[in-house]
Amino acid sequence: MKNQLDVLIIGSGIAALQLARLLDSALHVSVITKSVIRQSNSYWAQGGIAAVVDRNDHLRFHVEDTITAGRFHHSYREVERLVEEGATTVKQLVAEGLPIDRDEFGHISLGLEGAHRMNRIVHAGGDATGRHTIEFLLEQLPEQVQIIEQEMAYELLLSVDRSTCVGVKTKRRDGSVQIYRARHVVLASGGVGAIYPFTTNQTMLTGDGIAMAFRAGAEIADMEFIQFHPTLLYVNGETKGLVSEAVRGAGGTLVDEAGNRLMEHVHPLKDLAPRHITAYEIYKARANGKDVYIDIRSILDFEKQFPTITALCEQHGISVADGLLPVAPGSHFLMGGICVDTFGRTTIPGLYAIGETANSGVHGANRLASNSLLEGIVFGRRLAKYLNEQPQISNAIPIFHYEEKIDSEKIALLSKSELQQRMMEAVGMIRSGEKLQAHLHYLTESGVNDWIKKGIDVLSHKEIEKLFLFINSYLISYPALLREESRGAHIRSDFSIEEESWMGKRIIQTIQHTWIRRGFCESDQTRIHA
C-alpha cells in the first residue's frame, strides 16, 4: 500500500499536534502513532508550561535559569528564542481558549518549580496540564489532518543514494507493512525512558525516532544526558507514576524515614534545586538504606491542587491524609537526540525532528522544569510556519533497499528486562568508566553494531522495539564513556567534577563515525572514532 503525503508526522504528543493544527489547509497531512492518540507522554504530563507571562518576571531571568540548570551546555541563541517565542505562544494559546488555571481574581495562576527563580509555571487542571493541552489541540485539528493509530513507524524511506528522506515504513498490529511517501517526514516520537526499569515515561517510549534517524545516517548528539526525575511514587519495590515537582513548589519537602530534610544544607534552593541535584540526594539516601518521602503536610487542600497525584496514591494504597508520599528517582527526559537546526531540520533533507526526539540546544545537560511542553509548542509552531512556505515538489524517486536482512532469531533471544537492569547499573544516575566499558562490551557481543545496517522488515512489533532499545543503549553508553567529567545529568564517579575543558563540547554520532563538536556550529570538530 502506498500513500502520498505532503507532511507525515510520527508521534502524537504536544509538539506533533501543535505542528499538525498549524499546517496549511492545502497540505495533505497524516499523524501516525504506534499507540493511541491519548497515550503520549505529553497527555499524562503533570507539570505545566514554563513561560514569562507575569509582568514581574523577565525573559532574561527565564533564559538564565534555563542555562544555569543545564550547566551551560546550550545553544544560547536557541534558548533566547525559546523563551521569547514561548511567552508569545503561550499567550496566544490562552487567547485561543486553552483552559488554564486562574486565581480568585481571574489572573493566571503561576506555579513554582525547581531551579526557577520566579513563579512562571502555567497549569491547566492542576496537575493535568498535559491532558487539557492535548485535548485543546485535538479540538483544533483541521479536517485535512488524518490520525492513524496502532501503527509503528520503524524505517525511514531514503533515496537510492541515501541523501534524502522520502517517506516511512510502518507495521500494523497484524504484522502488515505499510509504505507512506511524503515530501516532509517529521519525527516527534518522544524519548527513550523505557530503556530503564524505573521511568515516568509511557512503556512504549523506546526511542523509535532516534533509532530510525540514526540508521538512516542522521547526526545524533548529547545522548549521555538523561534526566532522572527525583520523585516517582515508590510502592513495594516498584515505581508507580510521577509525583510532580509542583508538589515541592507548593511547599512539599524531601525527608528521610527519620524526618530529616534531605536538601536543607545541599543547595540554596533546597527542595527546589535542579533535578539532577535532588535526584542524586535521593539516590544516595536510598543507597544507604533509607526510605525517602515527600512531606506534604504543609500543603493546604492537596487533593484539590493535585487531583491526578491523589488518584495515583489512592490507586496504590498510599494515604494522602498521612502526609508522606514514598518516592524514588526514575528516568524522565532525554536532553539529547537527533541534531536539528532552528526550524527542526535534521542533517538529512526531507527529515525533521521536534520535541524530546530532537536535540535543539535548548535543554543543555539538564532540562529546566516545564521547559519541555514549552519546547513542543514553540518548535511545532515554528516548523509549521517553515513547511507552509515550502514549494510543493514531488519526490517520486526510487528508494533505497537493504541488501541484507537481520536475523530475527538473534533478536528474539535478547532480554529487554536484562538490558533495563544493565542500563540502570552501568548508565543510570551514577556512571563509571569500568562499568560503561563492560556494558559496551555486552552490547557489542549482542551484535548491535551489525544490526544498524540491515533490513528489519521480518521483525515483529515487539522485536523492533527491543532492537531500538539496544541501539539507543549504545548511543547513550558510548558518549557517557567518552565524556570524562560530571555535568548536569551526566554524573561520573571517576570524573566527579565539571571540567572546563569539556565546556561546550558535544559528542556527535552517526553510523559512519563519532566525533566532538564545540558548540552548535560546524567549526572546531575533532574526530574520535571512524
- Concatenated DSSP letters for 272-284? GS-HHHHHHHHHH
Q: Which residues pair with 254 in a beta bridge?
A: 294
Determine contact, residues 357/190, Cβ cutoff 8 Å.
yes
Catalytic residues: 275
Which helix (DSSP H) or strand (DSSP E) does residue 381 occupy? helix 371-388
* DSSP secondary structure letter of residue 203: T
Give the side-chain half-sphere CA count within 13 A for 274. Answer: 20
Q: Which of 209, 215, 157, 211 is nearest to 186 (CA)?
A: 209
* CA–CA distances in Å: residue 322 to residues 75, 249, 312, 317: 45, 19, 15, 12
Q: Which of 224, 210, 201 is nearest to 488 (CA)?
A: 224
Query: Which three three-digit cell numbers place residue 320?
Result: 494522602
Query: Which three three-digit cell numbers place residue 451?
Result: 544490526
CA–CA gap between residue 185 and residue 32 (Å, rounded) = 11
Q: List the 238-242 sheet strands across, edge first.
A: 238-242, 226-235, 324-334, 292-295, 253-256
* CA–CA distances in Å: residue 298 to residues 245, 252, 294: 15, 7, 11
Q: Which residues pair with 253 in a beta bridge?
A: 295
**Which residues lie below 8 Å from residue 47, measured CB to CB, with a gap of 6+?**
113, 121, 127, 129, 130, 244, 245, 246, 369, 370, 372, 373
* CA–CA distances in Å: residue 131 to residues 41, 127, 147, 471: 10, 9, 18, 31
**Rounded to the nearest 10 degrees, what angle do helices 416-427 and 433-446 cross at?**
160
Q: How far is CA 465 from the centre of its chain?
A: 17
End-to-end CA distance of the chain: 38
Amino acid 240 reads K
Determine contact, residues 253/260, Cβ cutoff 8 Å.
no
* CA–CA distances in Å: residue 200 to residues 41, 191, 261, 334, 441: 8, 11, 24, 12, 28
